[in-house]
């Protein structure tokens, strides 16, 4: 009979894309969004793929604070999308003068 410890885990580890998505969502939602808000947003986007709990989200946020700051900085410094000049036109629907 073996007396060693069994390598049995109740739940499998989350895929790597889940961790990256939680970090990205936290960067988008900002500092005031807590783990509950990030988990709800994750469910809204990926309900059919994977699930995350508040504890998992809080652990990822706590352990990857620097990566979240880097992601925010990357989003802030990103160049805007190129749009051709005079490509988009709009019309004002105010067809008269304002009455006081």
CA distances from 83 to 12, 33, 58, 78 (A): 45, 32, 39, 15
Which of 41-45, 55-59, 81-85 bottoms out in mean pLDDT, i.e. has the lowest? 81-85
**4 Cβ neighbours under 8 A, 6+ residues apart:** none
Residue 88 domain-assigned (yes or no): no
User: Per-residue confidence at 85, pLDDT binned at 50, 70, 90?
Assistant: confident
Residue 64 placed within a domain: yes
Neighbours of 8 (CB within 10 A): 5
Supply the pLDDT for residue 34. 92
86 within some domain: no
- Residue range 23-51: average pLDDT? 93
Q: Would residue 65 count as lying in a domain?
A: yes
Do the domain assignments include residue 56? yes
Q: Closest Cα partner for 20 from 62, 84, 55, 68?
A: 68
- Residue 41, domain extent: 16-76
Number of folded domains that form the chain: 1
95 burial type by CB count under 10 A (0-12 exposed, 13-18 middle, 19+ buried): exposed
Residue 82 placed within a domain: no
pTM of the predicted structure, to 2 decimals = 0.71
Answer yes or no: are the C-beta atoms of 60 and 34 closer than 8 Å.
no
Q: Is residue 60 part of a domain?
A: yes
**Domain-located, residue 61:** yes
* Higher per-residue confidence, 87 vs 29: 29
């Amino acid at each position: 009979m073996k007396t060693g410890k069994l390598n049995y885990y109740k739940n499998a580890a989350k895929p790597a894309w889940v961790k990256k998505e939680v970090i990205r969502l936290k960067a988008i939602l900002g500092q005031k969004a807590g783990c509950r808000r990030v988990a709800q947003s994750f469910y809204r986007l990926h309900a059919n793929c994977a699930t995350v709990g508040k504890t998992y989200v809080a652990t990822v946020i706590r352990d990857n604070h620097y990566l979240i700051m880097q992601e925010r900085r990357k989003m802030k410094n990103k160049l805007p999308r190129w749009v051709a000049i005079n490509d988009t036109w709009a019309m004002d629907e105010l067809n008269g003068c304002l009455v006081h």
